């Protein structure tokens, strides 16, 4: 009897939510990681009988994640040491390479002993009631942290996240049952072995619902490394064979997924299109704003996005240089603020921001904004821009509206859907059009104010709680 069938089937219909992306993440949750975190937060608050699970790439089985650990992971106050989990993505190896990989896998526990020990000592510290012992154990953890674990564990102002071992965070393998519904909402192509998922479903045909955010590596392969395209494509070739219901976040993404399946000779996919949520709570007024140095409320334009080629930062920087040179009335002393982590294939953009004297003077990059800083930046922006070449949805557009901020967006992908007629949507390749529109808004505050009035009167969007309740219901529905 395998581990999956060790426990008897009591006939219950469980909801299982995958946390395989969150458990590997450190730093502020962004993009898909943020959505998975919102799912887990909602389930912990509203579905106490649900199971939070992680795909263990050592055994190719799902294991339950301790709910208390799930909560601190969502809160960003803890990390799980996951370096013992092998990369599930297929990698081409020579025979010698395969032998080295197998040997490395066997030696991993010994090679990672220092990290495991640091986590064990930190768990001991948290269980102790002695302040003296806690202090000594805390210092011991500091000595045991290697460079990689230290970079994940330390946060601002010398604070450190709590550390957990995999063996402490995860329970024994789940006994998947036919009436179970598993909802996958993360970077599944990076955390799961799709062949193993197909095999699990063949043994026990549990219901699998999977979020589909976009098909970008297929639609825009030039923005991705060859291996990333191969991993994504291979995963989705398997997913269209075993996923019972895809839940797409836009009509545009639904069309892309249907086209991909058709190209693979598959049709008749079960796809539902549902909106993601957006919560803008505790808006921060001017007196309480915490803005980065050099910024004044109402005197900057905001773009929130990971820095990667598809997001079209390069066009925006060219536009801003032209405006700074005096076109369309100039920038009027406004700054351009870019909020987002460095992604991939970004060297040209980063070099321009740090070496071009005009951009050094005119552009502010906030690489790792806290939630409070991001709220302040939204609240203090004159307006927002989103020039991305293509999006499966465009959550920052919705969030801008939620703060009452007008947006100049691109017409790429699903962005017009997200804008809902409340944003000017421009061709992401038409630099001249962006110069004209951004310049007009910089020098015509009355037009920006009128657009903000429209947004305040007409914008409506589901909260995260409303959206996730609907998505979970759709995932369960047979």
Cα–chain center distance at 30: 4
Q: Report the alpha-carbon distance of residue 13 to residue 47 in Å, rounded.
A: 12
pLDDT number for residue 95: 62
Residues of the chain with pLDDT under 50: 1-8, 281-287
* 384, two tokens: 């927002």
Within-domain flag for 291: yes
Within-domain flag for 158: no
pLDDT number for residue 2: 38
**The domain that contains 327 carries what CATH number?**
3.40.50.2000
Task: Please give the order of strands across the beta sheet that includes 207-212.
Answer: 61-64, 51-56, 15-18, 181-184, 207-212, 245-248, 271-273
Within-domain flag for 465: no
* Neighbouring residues of 122: CB distance < 8 A, sequence distance ≥ 6: 137, 138, 141, 162, 163, 164
Report how far apart, in Å, the C-alpha atoms of 138 and of each of 124, 193, 247, 367, 370 are. Answer: 10, 37, 44, 29, 25
Within-domain flag for 384: yes
Name the domain count of the chain.
1
The pTM is what? Answer: 0.85
Within-domain flag for 363: yes
Within-domain flag for 324: yes
pLDDT number for residue 353: 84
Radius of gyration in angstroms for the set of CA atoms belonging to the chain, rounded to a whole number? 24
Within-domain flag for 226: no
Q: Report the alpha-carbon distance of residue 398 to residue 394 in Å, rounded.
A: 7
Domain that holds residue 358: 286-458
pLDDT number for residue 361: 92
Contact at 8 Å (CB) between 53 and 23? Answer: no
Contact at 8 Å (CB) between 34 and 468? Answer: no
* Neighbouring residues of 387: CB distance < 8 A, sequence distance ≥ 6: 303, 311, 312, 313, 315, 316, 408, 409, 410, 426, 428, 434
Q: Are strands 51-56 and 61-64 parallel, antiparallel or unpaired?
A: antiparallel
Within-domain flag for 94: no
- pLDDT digit string, tens, across residues 101-159: 565 555 555 558 889 999 999 999 999 999 999 999 999 999 999 888 898 898 866 78
Sign of CA dihedral 49, 54, 56, 60: positive
pLDDT number for residue 299: 95
Q: Report the alpha-carbon distance of residue 3 to residue 204 in Å, rounded.
A: 12
How much is the mean pLDDT over the chain? Answer: 89
């Amino acid at each position: 009897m395998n581990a999956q069938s060790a426990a008897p089937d009591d006939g219950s219909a469980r909801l299982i939510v995958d946390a395989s992306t969150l458990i590997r993440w450190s730093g502020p949750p962004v993009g898909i990681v943020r959505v998975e975190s919102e799912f887990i937060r909602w389930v912990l608050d509203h579905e106490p009988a649900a199971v939070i699970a992680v795909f263990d790439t050592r055994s190719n089985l799902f294991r339950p994640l301790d709910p208390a650990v799930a909560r601190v992971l969502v809160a960003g106050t803890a990390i799980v040491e996951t370096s013992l989990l092998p990369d599930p993505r297929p990698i081409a190896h020579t025979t010698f390479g395969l032998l080295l990989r197998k040997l490395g896998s066997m030696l991993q526990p010994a090679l990672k002993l220092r990290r495991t020990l640091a986590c064990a000592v930190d768990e001991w510290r948290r269980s102790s009631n002695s302040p003296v012992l806690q202090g000594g154990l805390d210092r011991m953890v500091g000595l045991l942290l290697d460079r990689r674990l230290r970079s994940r564990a330390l946060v601002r102002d010398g604070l450190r996240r709590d550390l957990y071992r995999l063996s402490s965070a995860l329970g024994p393998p789940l006994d998947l049952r036919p009436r179970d519904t598993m909802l996958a909402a993360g970077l599944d192509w990076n955390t799961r072995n799709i062949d193993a998922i197909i095999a699990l479903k063949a043994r026990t045909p549990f219901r699998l619902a999977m979020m589909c955010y976009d098909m970008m590596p297929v639609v825009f392969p030039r923005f991705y490394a060859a291996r990333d395209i191969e991993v994504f494509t291979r995963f989705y070739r398997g997913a269209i064979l075993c996923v019972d219901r895809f839940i797409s976040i836009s009509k545009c993404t639904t069309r892309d997924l249907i086209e991909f399946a058709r190209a693979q000779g598959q049709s008749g996919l079960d796809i539902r299109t549902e909106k993601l949520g957006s919560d803008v709570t505790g808006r921060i007024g001017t007196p309480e704003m915490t803005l980065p140095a050099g910024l004044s409320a109402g005197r900057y334009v905001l773009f929130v996005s990971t820095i990667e080629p598809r997001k079209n930062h390069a066009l925006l920087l060219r536009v801003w240089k032209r405006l700074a040179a005096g076109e369309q009335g100039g920038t009027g002393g406004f700054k351009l603020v870019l909020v987002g982590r460095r992604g991939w294939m970004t060297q040209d953009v980063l070099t321009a921001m740090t070496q071009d004297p005009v951009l050094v003077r005119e552009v502010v990059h906030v690489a790792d904004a806290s939630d409070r800083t991001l709220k302040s930046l939204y609240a203090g922006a004159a307006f927002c821009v989103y020039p991305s070449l293509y999006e499966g949805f465009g959550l920052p557009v919705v969030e801008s509206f939620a703060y009452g901020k007008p947006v100049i967006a691109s017409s790429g992908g699903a962005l017009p859907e997200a804008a809902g007629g409340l944003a000017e949507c421009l061709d992401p390749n038409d630099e001249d059009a962006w110069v004209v529109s951004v310049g007009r808004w910089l020098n015509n505050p009355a037009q920006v104010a009128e657009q903000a009035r429209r947004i305040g009167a007409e914008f409506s969007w589901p909260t995260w709680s409303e959206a996730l309740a609907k998505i979970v219901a759709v995932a369960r529905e047979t």
